């Protein structure tokens, strides 16, 4: 299958090929024809499978074919974070470069100039609006935007939005847009709360499940059994002894991100913490530095596992074992992109061993547990069947490559 099989406008194909796309990914091959038929859709597909392009291409193609009066404020895309909203906006610009389709990303945290630019785009009626829930609700309540002619609503990273507490906000937004519309929901996982939201806002949706991919073969996966008191010393050893270029360190919370950043600075490591307490300008500047390779080490929470797309990351360190096995796949997927190679190292303390065993079960692979470097003391014994953290692991949750109930029909 090629992109020409979708009968896209030639101007859209020109933008597509200029960005280096060659053939559709599985989610694109399955989702695009369904979107073209104007059906509602709920799709389970992880970051990195090409889902953003899967919904942008048919939407841009539809907009191209509309008269000018029906193009404005045609599509609303709701995104959980400012970074992802900006990333989607950039992708619209690239794919639609030769089409004349316009877009604007709407999010909080900017200065007066950013708001004036957003307001002007809304007043003039950009074709595609990409917004975070909080800022969008504020704009809707001000009466600064009228979505009465909206034809498409897209929720991207829906599970992440609900994890961030946006369920009620999404329901509020729905009240401001036409009931007659096409609604598309994309989510990396499909927990019960996503099914509840889908039942509330979608009409007889088609369902797709692109099974979670195993980590790229180009990723060298390793793990250390380590006590919390040994983690900083071990991390310092890895960073100083290894010949790594760009590095992302994942911690479990923004408080732990800040603390880790302070501790690494104290011992002379040049790092920067990326978290939601920073001003938007600060976050954008950090990302510019990281993408340009002037910043080598970035520390963040799981927001970085889904909200950025940076090539050339050579090392990912899970300072804390991910709470959810699927988050592990997202995290380490930041390295070894575009057929490159990379290393992913996970620290497993004595309480997180059962979590790590669930990760190995999901990816169907046993990950080597390396010995601690000399002089660091003894490590915990690996006995995951005996290790259960109080209240932290999903005791009733099992992971399957295919999730029952969300398999493509037909």
Q: Is the pLDDT of residue 255 over 50?
A: yes
Whose tokens are 């008191």? That residue is 229
**How confident is the model over 183-217, as pLDDT tens digits?**
999 987 777 888 889 989 999 999 998 766 678 78
**pLDDT score, position 115:** 72
pLDDT for 168 beyond 50: yes
State the helix-helix crossing angle for 280-291 and 82-95, rounded to 10 degrees: 60
Residue 141 has pLDDT above 70, yes or no: yes
Is 215 within 8 Å of 360 (Cβ atoms)?
no
- Distance between start and end Cα atoms, the chain: 19
**What is the pLDDT, as a whole number, of residue 81?**
87
Q: Which of 22-26, 71-75, 121-125 has the highest mean pLDDT?
A: 71-75
* CA 210 – CA 354 distance, rounded (Å): 26
What tens digit of pLDDT does each residue of 285-303 get? 898 899 899 999 999 887 6
Is 46:213 a contact under the CB 8 Å cutoff?
A: yes
- Position 233 scores a pLDDT of 95
Phi/psi zone of residue 372: left (φ > 0), alpha (ψ -120 to 50 degrees), beta?
Answer: beta
Position 101 scores a pLDDT of 93
128 in Cβ contact with 101 (< 8 Å): yes
pTM score over 0.75: no
In percent, how much of the chain has pLDDT > 90? 47
pLDDT at 154: 97
Q: How much is the CA Rg of the chain, to the nearest whole Å?
A: 22
Please write the tens of the pLDDT for every residue from 76-132: 999 998 888 988 998 999 999 999 999 999 988 666 676 777 777 777 778 999 999
User: Which residue carries 């002379």 as its tokens?
Assistant: 268
Domains, the chain: 3-209 (3.40.50.300), 219-386 (3.40.50.300)
Structure tokens at 263: 């501790």
77 CB neighbour count, 10 Å cutoff = 26
pLDDT at 112: 65
């Amino acid at each position: 299958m090629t992109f020409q099989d979708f009968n896209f406008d030639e101007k859209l194909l020109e933008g597509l090929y200029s960005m280096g796309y060659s053939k559709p990914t599985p989610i694109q091959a399955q989702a695009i024809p369904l979107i073209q038929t104007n059906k509602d859709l709920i799709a389970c597909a992880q970051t990195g499978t090409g889902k953003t392009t899967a919904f942008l291409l048919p939407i841009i193609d539809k907009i191209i074919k509309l008269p000018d009066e029906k193009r404005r404020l045609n599509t609303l895309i709701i995104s959980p974070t400012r970074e992802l909203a900006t990333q989607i906006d950039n992708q619209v610009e690239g794919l639609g470069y030769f089409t004349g389709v316009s877009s604007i990303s709407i999010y909080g945290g900017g200065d007066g100039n950013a708001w004036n630019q957003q307001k002007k785009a809304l007043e003039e009626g950009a074709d595609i609006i990409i917004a975070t829930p909080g800022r969008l609700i504020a704009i809707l309540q001000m009466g600064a935007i009228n979505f009465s002619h909206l034809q498409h609503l897209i929720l991207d990273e829906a599970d992440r939005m609900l994890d961030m507490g946006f369920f009620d906000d999404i329901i509020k937004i729905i009240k401001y847009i036409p009931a007659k519309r096409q609604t598309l929901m994309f989510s990396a996982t499909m927990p019960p709360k996503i099914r509840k939201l889908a039942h509330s806002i979608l009409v007889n949706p088609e369902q797709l499940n692109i099974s979670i991919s195993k980590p790229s073969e180009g990723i060298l996966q390793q793990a250390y059994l380590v006590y919390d008191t040994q983690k900083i010393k071990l991390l310092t050893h890895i960073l100083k002894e290894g010949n790594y270029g760009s590095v992302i360190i994942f911690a479990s919370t923004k408080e732990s991100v800040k603390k880790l950043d302070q501790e690494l600075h104290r011992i002379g490591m040049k790092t920067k913490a990326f978290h939601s307490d920073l001003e938007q300008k600060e976050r954008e500047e950090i990302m510019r530095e990281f993408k340009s390779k002037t910043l080598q080490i970035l520390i963040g929470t799981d927001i970085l596992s889904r909200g950025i797309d940076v090539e050339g990351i050579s090392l990912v360190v899970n300072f804390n074992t991910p709470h959810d096995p699927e988050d592990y796949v997202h995290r380490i997927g930041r390295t070894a992109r575009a057929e490159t190679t990379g290393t992913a190292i996970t620290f497993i303390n004595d309480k997180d061993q059962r979590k790590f065993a669930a990760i190995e079960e999901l990816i169907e692979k046993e990950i080597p547990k390396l010995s601690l470097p000399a002089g660091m003391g003894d490590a915990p014994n690996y006995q995951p069947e005996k290790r259960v953290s109080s209240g932290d692991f999903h005791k009733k949750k099992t992971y399957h490559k295919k999730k029952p109930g969300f398999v493509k029909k037909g």
